[in-house]
Amino acid sequence: MSYRLTIVVPVYNEEDNLQRVEKEFLAYFENAAVKSKVLFVNDGSKDGSQALIEDICSRSDNFTYISFAHNAGLSAAIKAGFDYADTALVGYIDADLQTTPDDFNKLLDEMDDCALVTGVRADRKDSFVKNMSSKIANGIRRAFTHDGMDDTGCPLKIIKSDYAKRIPMFRGLHRFLPAMILLQNGKVKQVPVRHFPRIAGEAKFGLWNRLLGPLMDCFAYLWMKKKYINYTVEKTSRG
């Protein structure tokens, strides 16, 4: 049976988490609702992440990778994952595994009539400051985008690949994935998922990244929305 879901795992200095990523995904593959594989996107890590990724990929065909020449940021890593995915569905999860691969099955259950299904971290295990800044940022984004999403920053999503590949990404726009799907007239849905404390590695986003930066990105989104081109082909000479 051919693969149906590619799960993008952006990696930036996550050497302390990667063996756990391998272990949890090997367990998930046994119970996945559809045949799935992992695509690591090494975003210019400066630690031993690349060597670990290559070891993991050498042990199983269910793991593949691409590696950037230099650090380009989370949005670029996600966009590259979308571009390189060769399956009907593409997913996304962070390498810190504060969400679990097992919950991809919850998202898959809702994919039939949706272009994107995203998780909502129902009981977040983060600090008060991180939770509040995220809550405020999500409120600001909803006011700008009217996407109805409570937790666009949740690192657990599945998108139909034909929609994902049409998303015009730029730095910071990973927070607007549901809104960009709505621009394509696709249906989006959110599903409660589990959340866990970070076990290893360091958080890549501070107060600026979670609150002030995203506010500036909202204006970039409004510009994108105004200029966005959307069309539907009714027929072609090929039939």
Query: Which pLDDT does position 206 carry in this prediction?
Result: 53
Query: pLDDT digit string (tens) for 29-70?
Result: 999 999 999 999 999 999 999 999 999 999 999 999 999 999
More confident residue, 135 or 16: 16
pTM for the model: 0.83
Query: Which pLDDT does position 210 carry in this prediction?
Result: 57
More confident residue, 198 or 76: 76
The DSSP element (H or E) to which 207 belongs, if any, is helix 207-207
For the chain, what is the mean pLDDT?
86
Query: Which pLDDT does position 142 carry in this prediction?
Result: 66
Q: How confident is the model at residue 137 (pLDDT cuts 50, 70, 90)?
A: low
Q: In which residue are the tokens 């065909």 written?
A: 61
User: Side by side, which strands form the sheet with 36-42?
Assistant: 63-67, 36-42, 5-11, 89-93, 156-160, 116-121, 188-193
> 5-227 — its CATH code?
3.90.550.10
Interatomic CA distance for residues 174 and 74, integer angstroms: 8
Q: How many CB atoms neighbour CB 2 within 10 A?
A: 7
Q: What angle, rounded to 10 degrees, do the helices at 213-227 and 128-145 form?
A: 20
Query: pLDDT digit string (tens) for 92-111?
Result: 999 999 999 999 999 999 99
